[in-house]
C-alpha cells in the first residue's frame, strides 16, 4: 500500500452521542471511539477461556483466503468445520493462518452473552437482533469490500490488533469494483499496480484497532481488514439514515445478490471473466479521463 494516499482515522476519547452524530454520523465520516464500550462487562469477561467454556464444543465453519475461493463471487464457501475450542486455541497461540470466522451469531448459542454489552445511544437505528462476532488468526485478512446491506457498523476489538483501511464511496472508481457485487478485484495485501494502476489514485483512511476501541464505519464505506494478531471483534449494525440507502441495501441483498448467485451457477467462469473485464474497463476509462484532463489543463 506504499503508493496510496492514506490518512489516520480520527480518534475520540470521550465524545457525547450528540457530538458524535453531528461530527461523524450525519456527514458519514469514520472515527475510532474509546468510550463506546463504557460500562460493558464484556470488556473484562470475554476472554478466550470464557468463550471456550461457554461454546467450545460447538462446531464452527472456518473460511480461508478469499483469493482461493472463487474471488469474483459474493458468497464464499467454508474450507473446514472444527470445534470452536480448537479454533480458539489457534488464536491463543497466535498461530499464523488464513482461517477466519465471520458473521458469527454466537448469541444464539450463548444468549447470556447478550447481558454483557449494551447498544449505546450513538444511533437510534441499531439492529438489536443482529449482533455478530468476527474471529481471525494472525496473518489473515478480509478482502476489500463494502457491506451489501449498507448498514452503519460499530466494530469493537477484543484480544489483539486489527489494521483497518477504509475508502469512501467516492473512491469506488479507482477500486476495480466487480459488477453485481460490493467487492474489489484488488488484492490489497499485495497490490499489483501494473495490473490495477488506478488504485494508486485512491485516498483512504487507516487505523490499528486495539482492544477496547470501537471503529465507526459509515454506510457504504469500503474496508480492508488485516489481523495483525489472532483476535476477535463484536459488530453492532445500525440501519442507514436515508430512505434511499435503506432501499439500496434491501435491493442489494434481495435482488443483486440473488442475480449474481444465479449467473454464477449457470455461467460459471464466463460470468466471472465478464465481471473482471468490466471492472478493468471502467477503471481504464477513469484513467483515460484523468490523462485527458491533465493534458487540457497543462
Strand runs labelled E in 64-131:
80-83, 100-104
Give the residue with greater pLDDT, 42 vs 266: 42
Grid coordinates given for 140: 489473515
291: which residues sit within 8 A by CB, 6+ positions away? Answer: none
Average pLDDT, the chain: 93
111: which residues sit within 8 A by CB, 6+ positions away? Answer: none
Q: How far is CA 217 from CA 71, 197, 207, in A?
A: 24, 26, 12
The answer, yes or no, to whether residue 31 has pLDDT greater than 80, is yes
Lowest-confidence segment of 22-26, 66-70, 272-276 by average pLDDT: 66-70
pLDDT of residue 296: 85
CATH number for position 137: 2.60.120.650
Helix (H) or strand (E) holding 208: strand 203-209
Q: Into how many domains does the chain fold? A: 1
- Overall average pLDDT of the 70-80 stretch: 77
Do 61 and 101 contact (CB within 8 A), yes or no?
yes
The answer, yes or no, to whether residue 74 has pLDDT greater than 70, is no
171: which residues sit within 8 A by CB, 6+ positions away? Answer: 202, 203, 204, 222
Q: Could you report the per-residue pLDDT of 187-223, keeping only the tens digit for each?
A: 999 999 999 999 999 999 999 999 999 999 999 999 9
Grid coordinates given for 157: 476489538
pLDDT of residue 298: 73
Going by C-alpha positions, the residue among 80, 77, 75 that lies closest to residue 90 is: 80
Pairing of β 231-238 and β 214-217: unpaired
Q: Distance between CA atoms of 203 and 166, rounded to whole angstroms?
A: 9
The answer, yes or no, to whether residue 54 has pLDDT greater than 70, is yes
Q: Distance between CA atoms of 40 and 199, rounded to whole angstroms?
A: 39
Do 160 and 227 contact (CB within 8 A), yes or no?
yes
pLDDT of residue 69: 65
Q: Distance between CA atoms of 141 and 167, rounded to whole angstroms?
A: 16
Q: Could you report the per-residue pLDDT of 160-189, keeping only the tens digit for each?
A: 999 999 999 999 999 999 999 999 999 999
Supply the range of the domain harboring residue 153: 5-297
Do 138 and 177 contact (CB within 8 A), yes or no?
no
SS3 content of the chain, % helix, strand, coil (to 5): 35, 25, 40
Q: Look up the pTM and report it.
A: 0.94
Q: How many CB atoms lie within 10 A of CB 37?
A: 22
Amino acid at each position: 500500500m506504499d503508493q496510496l494516499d492514506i490518512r489516520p482515522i480520527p480518534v475520540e476519547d470521550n465524545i457525547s452521542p450528540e457530538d458524535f452524530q453531528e461530527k461523524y454520523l450525519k456527514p458519514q465520516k469514520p472515527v475510532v471511539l474509546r468510550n463506546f464500550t463504557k460500562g460493558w462487562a464484556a470488556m473484562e469477561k470475554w476472554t478466550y477461556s470464557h468463550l471456550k467454556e461457554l461454546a467450545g464444543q460447538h462446531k464452527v465453519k472456518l473460511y480461508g483466503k478469499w483469493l482461493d475461493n472463487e474471488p469474483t463471487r459474493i458468497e464464499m464457501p467454508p474450507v473446514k468445520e472444527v470445534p470452536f475450542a480448537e479454533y480458539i486455541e489457534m488464536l491463543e497461540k497466535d498461530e499464523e493462518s488464513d482461517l477466519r470466522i465471520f458473521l458469527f451469531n454466537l448469541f444464539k448459542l450463548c444468549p447470556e452473552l447478550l447481558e454483557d454489552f449494551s447498544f449505546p445511544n450513538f444511533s437510534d437505528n441499531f439492529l438489536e437482533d443482529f449482533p455478530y462476532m468476527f474471529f481471525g488468526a494472525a496473518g489473515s485478512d478480509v478482502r476489500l469490500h463494502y457491506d451489501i446491506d449498507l448498514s452503519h457498523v460499530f466494530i469493537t476489538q477484543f484480544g489483539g490488533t486489527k489494521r483497518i483501511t477504509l475508502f469512501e464511496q467516492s473512491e469506488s472508481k479507482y477500486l476495480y469494483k466487480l459488477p453485481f457485487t460490493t467487492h474489489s478485484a484488488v488484492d490489497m495485501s499485495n497490490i499489483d499496480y501494473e495490473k490495477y494502476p488506478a488504485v494508486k489514485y485512491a485516498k483512504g483512511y487507516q487505523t490499528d484497532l486495539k482492544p477496547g476501541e470501537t471503529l465507526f464505519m459509515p454506510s457504504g464505506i469500503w474496508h480492508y481488514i488485516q489481523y495483525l494478531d489472532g483476535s476477535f471483534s463484536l459488530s453492532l449494525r445500525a440501519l442507514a439514515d436515508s430512505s434511499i440507502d435503506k432501499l439500496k441495501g434491501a435491493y442489494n441483498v434481495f435482488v443483486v445478490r440473488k442475480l449474481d448467485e444465479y449467473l454464477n451457477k449457470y455461467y460459471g467462469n464466463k460470468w466471472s471473466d465478464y465481471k473482471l473485464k468490466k471492472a478493468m474497463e471502467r477503471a481504464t476509462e477513469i484513467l483515460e479521463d484523468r490523462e485527458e484532463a491533465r493534458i487540457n489543463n497543462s
